[in-house]
Each structure stands twice: as C-alpha cells, then as structure tokens.
Amino acid sequence: MNKIVGKEYFSQNVVKLEVEAPLIARSRKAGHFVIVKVGPKGERIPLTIASSNIEKGTITLVIQNVGKSSKKICDLEVGDYVTDLVGPLGKATHIENFGTVVCAAGGVGIAPMLPIIEAMKKAGNKVVSVLAARTKDLVILEEQVAEYSDEVIVMTDDGSYGYKGLVTNGIEMVINREKVDMCVTIGPAIMMKFVSLLTKKYNVPTISSLNTIMVDGTGMCGACRVTVGGKTKFVCVDGPEFDAHEVDFDEMLMRLKAYN
Amino acid sequence: MTQLEYIKEKRGEAWRDELRKSMKAKERSDIQRVHMPELDPEVRSRSLKDEVNTGLSVENAMTEAKRCLDCANPTCVSGCPVEINIPGFIKNIERGEFLEAAKTLKETSALPAVCGRVCPQEKQCEAKCIYIQKMGKEAVAIGYLERFAADYERNCGQISIPEIKKRNGIKIATVGSGPAGLSFAGDMIKRGYDVTVFEALHEIGGVLKYGIPEFRLPNEIVDVEIDSLSKMGVKFEKNCIVGKTISYEELQSEGFKGIFVASGAGLPNFMNIPGENLINVMSANEFLTRVNLMDASSEDSDTPVKMGKKVAVIGGGNTAMDAVRTARRLGADRAMIIYRRSEEEMPARLEEVKHAKEEGVEFLTLHNPLLYEGDEQGRVQKMLLQRMELGEPDASGRRKPVPVEGATEWIDVDQVIVSVGVSPNPLIPSSFKGLDVTKWGTVVINQDTMQTDLPDVYAGGDIVRGGATVILAMGDGRKAAAAMAEKLFNK
C-alpha cells in the first residue's frame, strides 16, 4: 500500500507526490490532512491533502523541503513506498455559499488551499484567490487555482511576478473595492496572523488552517494545542481550521519553536 | 459449564489430588512469599530499556507455587477480570509442567506475559487469596507466577497456539488494538470467527506500546503475544481509523456482522490553569508516545523529545509513575510527583510507587499546581504550588483535598508533564450515528452483554469506563466476545 505513483518538482524545494491510498482518496474532503512517516525510525508529520483521484485511488501531497523529515519525503521516488500513511484527519472545511470568498494562501499553503477553492466555487461562491510567495518560482499551482477562481491575484515579495507586496496587500485591494463575505487563509503562521489582524479591522469573517506541531494527529497527545477564544483546542481533532480572529497566534508562533 | 465449574472439574484430576496430598497445608503455608529479583536502583534509574523486575528463577517459582493451597473454592479467580484458572496454572508450575501452565493461562487470557507484569494484583486476584482473606499472611504471588509461566514458554521457543474451532466465515471487526481489542480478538478467533483488528497508529498494541515503558513492559514481549494472535488467524490493519479512513456503514457493507469498539480513552485532560500551553508543558501521553512509540531518546530516531533536568509530573496514577520514572531515566536531576491528595489515595500500583522512590523520584503529595511561568522564549521556568490538606470525604468516599490558605511556594522546573487523567476520544461516538454516549463521552452499554444501542456494535475497555486498567479492558473484551458469539450463534 501507499506506493508513490507520480512525482513532480514545482521548484527545487517543493515537490508534488501522488500516492496510492484508495480508502483515503474515497473518504477525504477539502481541509483534511494525513500523517506521514518514512522509515522505521521516521517521525510522524502532518501534510494536508491537496487533491485526490478516486478512480486511481490516489491522493496528492505537496511538500516543501524544510527539514529532516520533509527531506525524507521529498527524496522518495516513483515506485517507493511511504512507510506509514494515515487519514483523512481533522475536520473538513465548512463549505457553503457565503457570497464572495477570498482565498489567501502563501507559499506551499497554496496546495492545501486548492481543494478549498474548488469546493467554494462549486458551492456557488465568487472566489478571489490571492496567492503570495517570496519570488516568482515559488508561486505554484496557479493554473489549477485559476480553473476554480473568478480571479487570481498574485503577490510576490520581490515583485518578480504579479504585484509586489504581501498577501495582506492583495486582500486589502479586494476588500477596498467590493464586499467580501468570507476569507480563508493558509500559510506560515506569521502570515495568517497578519491576515487575521487585517480582516478583523474590516470585520471580514476569517477561517485559518493551523499548522502546529503534531505527533499522532488523532487527539491523543495535545502537542498541537492552541488557544482559541480563550479555550485550549487540539488542532488535529477540533481543527485544523478555526475562526482566525479567535486564535492566539502569538502563543502558536511561540509553540512552533519548541524543538528549534 | 461456567468457568468456575470448569475450574473445579480440572481440580478433580488425579495428578492434582496427588499433588495436594504430597505436602501438608501447614508446611505449604509456612513457606515465605518469594521476592521478585530486580535491578539495582542505581543502575536501572539510568537505563530506559532494561526491565526492572528480572523474573523468578525456576526454583523460586516452584517453591512459590507450593504455597498455593489449591482451595476447593478458589476465591482468587473471582478477583481476576478474565477468570484465569489460577490454581490450575499454579499447580502445573509446582509439578514442573511449565508449558502446561502457560497453556492454561492462554485459555482465558490473550496477554499473560503482559498481565503478569502490569496488573495491580494487590487489588485483584491476590486480594482474594485465602492467605490474605483468612490467614493474615502475604498472598500467593499469582502475578509473578503468571509472568514466570508466560516468559518460560516464550524463552524456550515452544509457543503453543490455542485450539481453534472450525472456521465459520463470519466477519467480525475490532476497533482498536489495545488490551480490550486484543483480548476480544483472541476469544473470537478461538470460536472460529474471521477477525480483523483496525488500528489508527502504525503499531499494534495501544497503550501497551505507546504508554507503558520498556522498563516495565518490553515491546518485544507485547509483539510475541500479538504474533500468537496473528498465527491464530487474526488480521491486523494498521494506519486505519474507523470513522475516518473507513466508516461504520462501509464496515457493514463489507459484511462485518459484529463490531467491537475498543478505541480507549486517549484524549488527555489538562487542568486549564495559566501557563499550561508554555513550551515543555505537555501531556503524559505526548511525552510517553514520543519516548515509547517513537523512540525519541535514541539518536537514530527522527522524533525529538525534551529531556528536562527539573521535571514535575502532575498526578498520582500509573501513567504519572511511568512518566516520572522515564524522565528520571532520561537524565532528570529532580524528578518530582506532584499529587493533590496524600500517598494513601494514590491510584498507582504499590510496586510502581516503591520503585519510583527507590529510583530517586521525589514525592510532593498534598500539593497542587496553580500556574506556570516561562522565560522570554516561552519555555516553562517555574511553577506555583498550593499546599493542600485532606478535608471531609467526598461523594467517592475519598477525603477531599482542600487548599491550605496562604501556603504556596515556587519551584523551578524546566519540564512539566500533566497526567491528570484521560477522556474518551470523541471520534468514534461522532462517527457511529445513533450511538448513545454519556456526558463524559463514554459509550453506553448493557452491562451484561457489552452491547451498545446499535445492535451490531459492542464496546469495552476505556471507551466505556474512562481511564481504567489493562486487565479490566481485557475482561470487557472477553465478556463482549462471549455475548456477541452467543447472539450470532443463536441467529
């Protein structure tokens, strides 16, 4: 089980893997994630499912090489096996017809945003996708995003592609010109924090998909806990998506450094 | 025939009569209870993987077995949740038939090497031994002897596979591979059913693997017992979460006629006090999972773990003892138990408390944390403790701990492990439509049959009880198997 059947490089450090997992492909919904472990002494790490193909029985994962475990996964080739793969985990994204939805994603956060964009569009929303990356090469999946978006706004830190600026500049541009009913954001914690601060200012309801440290991913340890609305929540079972305006991002940013 | 009738019938065999007559009861009862040899505390408190108890020698086991009076009415059996034929296996040890003893254990227990190590015998079988009940003497060391027989069988490589009834082709699913699920699976496969065990983690065994440490229960021993179940025909599906990967309805449509839910109580409780989300404050489940399941303290493991120098473990149960002794072994200079009641009320096994003390663990009983403070990076640095005293008995009959006004103190810590109980994981109740649960999240069952309000779903272990013991979970599995088999048979 869990054989790699497809591999593609988005950039030097961002890899797309298509993995056999028929049961997960069948039951997963937008917003779900899996836990992946490579090798007998490997670590369990969470990865959001970017897409699935029920007929082929596969799921697609997009991984950025940022450390030992993600490198192990990025190094897998077609024909290799993922030692352990479990899911789908977490709660699925709450999808309904909100009206106009801004989907704001940063870096590899674009991959897990893709199924949400698709589902939001299919639910009848007007979808404006704001994709942000440091530089042109790191803007991934633009074509697939465009397929389900009414408009795509690309932001790069260095202005090498699209508009120069941060994801928040792109969101503000949309808010200033039309009524936004919902914002969904996925990306680095610091980015989601600033998106949340911005949308709070404009009273735009905002959902963020949190990426905390996890071990089991099934609710049995609490490594992933965050404070939401003053209460402790486990991201793996209560989330990963929460009302961004209720999330204590400073605490989350602090906890992400536990093993640095 | 009930188990007790069976046990009495076995007692009537000729060799048992002869053995009983070979020694006077007085001589038997004059023998002193055997002591379990153990590693020196100085040595073992530095070794994560060496088992503390080293096991009885053949000679010691045979002598201890002589103490058992082979009572006509063996009350010890009623103290065992899976009703092991206790005098039957002990008399086999006395006559030197150790493999026979192991076989006898396996008639009712899927995990004898485990139970011999982790059961709180002083509250179960041994508490009902005639030596304690009537003679004011130390009980027969039933747990040690159980362990001896199971270890003997494993070490000599002649592991017997229990007899299996003719396969009936009826598919049965077990949700969770902890003690309840394994015990159920063992009993159902023996009855001829086609059993599949679904496990969410990447290892089989539940708390036996991720929770209980190597120095108390080596994983290798758990694996041998799981391997026996495999050889009997039990199928194991790892990395599969019933309710997520595969739904209840899908199990039904794949032809599973009965489902036993034994998903445990894995959700750790926190105290919700200030500073509890600081770095290096964690649940005992997280700490133990990192160390036991992920082997985080080994160099070749990719999983990291904090190895604190001043470690406080909050709680007084077996999990707290496991966590504090693990922290000590990972190099803690100060490893402290913080418990709000007195030592008398501690739910941990007596032996674990004794071992922890020998290994240098400090016990701050009648203390309760109020808050934690961290450094500028958010790492826990100190804790404020409230001194407690025991007040009036509460509803549970235990004296209630109440704060001593003004008696607080700061203690430096760099790691805090919270072990104040667990709750059932809400995943199963939320994915089995119509399943009745209590306000604590435990699944409601018929006490006699372990059946839930869904006719094909039975449940047992911690998902029904909240955090309890290995052997109670195994007893539930056994009971559920008997009831489910009877229902399917009568259909």
- Which is higher by pLDDT, B231 or B266? B231
pLDDT for position B392: 87
Got the DSSP string for B159-220? PPPPP-PPP---EEEEE--SHHHHHHHHHHHHTT-EEEEE-SSSSSSTHHHHTS-TTTS-HH
* Cβ contacts of B306 on chain A, cutoff 8 Å: 258
Q: How far apart are CA A118 and CA B417, in angstroms?
A: 42
Find residues 3-32 of chain B whose CB sits inside 8 Å of chain A. none
Average pLDDT, integer, range B81-101: 95
Q: How far apart are CA B3 and CA A23, in angstroms?
A: 42
Residue B73: partners with Cβ closer than 8 Å, 6 or more residues away: none
Q: How far apart are CA B143 and CA B149, in angstroms?
A: 10
What are the φ/ψ torsions at residue B224 (nearest 5 degrees)? -60, -40
Token pair listed for B270: 């926190």
Q: Does B343 have pLDDT greater than 70?
A: yes
How many CB atoms sit inside 10 A of residue A8's CB? 11
Q: How far apart are the first and last CA of chain B?
A: 21
Q: Does A212 have pLDDT greater than 80?
A: yes
Average pLDDT, integer, range B272-296: 96
ipTM of the complex as predicted: 0.94
B295 touches A at CB < 8 Å: yes
Selecting from A37, A86, A219 the residue whose C-beta is nearest the C-beta of B267 gives: A219
Q: How far apart are CA A112 and CA A187, in angstroms?
A: 9
Selecting from B276, B282, B378 the residue whose C-beta is nearest the C-beta of A223 gives: B282
Tens digits of per-residue pLDDT, B99-157? Answer: 999 999 999 888 889 988 988 888 899 999 999 999 999 999 999 999 999 999 999 98
Average pLDDT, integer, range A197-207: 97
Token pair listed for A57: 């029985």
Name residue B187's beta-bridge partners: none
Q: How far apart are CA B419 and CA B234, in angstroms?
A: 33
Tens digits of per-residue pLDDT, B211-223? Answer: 999 999 999 999 9
| Average pLDDT across chain A, whole number | 94
| Contact criterion met (CB below 8 Å) for B328 and B309 | no
Q: How far apart are CA B46 and CA B41, in angstroms?
A: 9
Selecting from B279, B286, B294 the residue whose C-beta is nearest the C-beta of A43 gives: B294
Q: How far apart are CA A173 and CA A167, in angstroms?
A: 10
How many CB atoms sit inside 10 A of residue B98's CB? 22
- The string over A225-234, giving b where at least 16 C-beta atoms fall within 10 Å of a residue's C-beta and e elsewhere, is bbbbeeeebb
> How open is the CA angle B308-B314-B318, to the nearest 5 degrees?
100
Token pair listed for B327: 């922290």
Q: Does B476 have pLDDT greater than 90?
A: yes
What are the φ/ψ torsions at residue B48 (nearest 5 degrees)? -70, -35
Q: How far apart are CA A204 and CA A181, in angstroms?
A: 6
How many CB atoms sit inside 10 A of residue A40's CB? 11
B274 touches A at CB < 8 Å: no
| Contact criterion met (CB below 8 Å) for B466 and B265 | yes
CA B125 from chain centre, in angstroms, equals 15
| Contact criterion met (CB below 8 Å) for B309 and B323 | no
The H or E element spanning position A71 is: helix A68-74
| Contact criterion met (CB below 8 Å) for B38 and B52 | yes
B425 touches A at CB < 8 Å: yes
With 0-12 CB in 10 A as exposed, 13-18 as middle and 19+ as buried, what is A11? middle
Q: Does B396 have pLDDT greater than 80?
A: no
Q: Does A150 have pLDDT greater than 70?
A: yes
Average pLDDT, integer, range A217-224: 93
pLDDT for position B350: 86
Show the DSSP H helices in A148-213 as ranges: 167-177, 189-201
Q: What is the DSSP letter of A42?
A: P
- Whether residue B283 and residue A221 make contact (CB cut-off 8 A), yes or no, is yes
Q: Does B281 have pLDDT greater than 90?
A: yes
pLDDT for position B110: 83
Tens digits of per-residue pLDDT, A40-74? Answer: 999 999 999 999 999 999 999 999 998 899 999 99
Considering only CA atoms, which of B427, B470, B464 is closest in space to residue B82? Answer: B470
Tens digits of per-residue pLDDT, B20-45? Answer: 999 999 999 999 999 999 999 999 99
Q: Does B349 have pLDDT greater than 90?
A: no
Distance from CA of A37 to the nearest CA of B (A): 9
pLDDT cut 70: percent of chain A above it = 100
B134 touches A at CB < 8 Å: no
Average pLDDT, integer, range A86-96: 94
Distance from CA of A179 to the nearest CA of B (A): 36
B277 touches A at CB < 8 Å: yes
- Which is higher by pLDDT, A186 or A13? A186
Q: How far apart are CA B476 and CA B83, in angstroms?
A: 12
Q: How far apart are CA A132 and CA A110, in angstroms?
A: 8
pLDDT for position B491: 63
User: What's the order of all strands across the beta sheet hosting B415-418?
Assistant: B281-283, B415-418, B310-314, B334-339, B362-365
Distance from CA of B253 to the nearest CA of A (A): 14
Average pLDDT, integer, range B387-392: 93
Q: How far apart are CA B480 and CA B473, in angstroms?
A: 11
| Average pLDDT across chain B, whole number | 93
Q: How far apart are CA A7 and CA A79, in angstroms?
A: 10
CA B391 from chain centre, in angstroms, equals 31
Residue of B237, B240, B244, B431 for testing the chain A interface, max A β-carbons within 10 Å: B244
Q: How far apart are CA B419 and CA B417, in angstroms?
A: 6
Tens digits of per-residue pLDDT, B6-20? Answer: 999 999 999 999 999
